[in-house]
Amino acid sequence: MLSIRPRSSDDCHLIVSWVPDAEALYLFAGPRLRWPLTLNQLTSGEQSPEQTAWVAVDAGPEPIGQFELTMHDSHAHLGRVLLDPTVRGRGLAHDLVRLAVAQARALGATSIGLNVVTGNRPALRTYERAGFVETSRQDAVRSLAMTLNLATHVR
Ligand SMILES: CC(C)(COP(=O)(O)OP(=O)(O)OC[C@H]1O[C@@H](n2cnc3c(N)ncnc32)[C@H](O)[C@@H]1OP(=O)(O)O)[C@@H](O)C(=O)NCCC(=O)NCCS
């Protein structure tokens, strides 16, 4: 069973190692970052008081996943959802996103938005199963936006 805790600077080297190439970086973070992923790029949002970064842990102390939440009033943006490549394919993404949604609620969110690369089937499926619906699409940058309304979403 996964649980989350705030991401520490010690976690970041490990997280950077989960992004092995430019395509993986694009799936993870979209068009804004340039390969190779650096610690500075990963942590650049930490100066913003609206942003919080979280890691998921399983049985051991080491993180196996991460995500970031940025609050704009009562709207949360969920970003940079990532699982350790060695634990993918086991359905853990559903737990990770469920924990992200619960944390957004705890931070006061009534809605959550995210952007996902259009061909990213595991991510799309995970978000759809969590209740997110597509709201817009930008084919030029292979991106679509999804939203979850927490006021109407049954936990
Ligand atoms: C996105 C990510 C967290 C998903 O985790 P995962 O372990 O790969 O996914 P899971 O095995 O938990 O599968 C999630 C769902 O996607 C489905 N899925 C997986 N691969 C699929 C594929 N190629 N086509 C369609 N569905 C697929 C699974 O069947 C599962 O749905 P189900 O439970 O209804 O059967 C993980 O792949 C990852 O970290 N990717 C790199 C970073 C990234 O893309 N982040 C998203 C940023 S928006």
Helix/strand/coil for 88 = coil
- Residue % of the chain over a pLDDT of 70: 100
Q: Is the pLDDT of residue 155 over 80?
A: no
Domain extents in the chain: 3-149
Residue 46 token pair: 């930490």
Does ligand 1 have an atom closer than 6 angstroms to the CB of 20?
no
Measured from the CB, is residue 122 less than 6 Å from ligand 1?
Answer: yes
- Domain 3-149 in CATH: superfamily? Gcn5-related N-acetyltransferase (GNAT) (3.40.630.30)
pLDDT digits (tens, 9 = 90+) for 79-127: 999 999 999 999 999 999 999 999 999 999 999 999 999 999 999 999 9
- Checking 16-20 for CB contacts under 8 A at 24+ apart, the result is 16/42, 18/82, 18/83, 18/84, 18/85, 19/82, 20/85
pLDDT, tens digit, 9 for 90 and up, residues 18-37: 999 999 999 999 988 999 99
Nearest protein Cα to ligand 1, atom 1: 123
For residue 154, name the pLDDT band (cuts at 50, 70, 90). Answer: confident
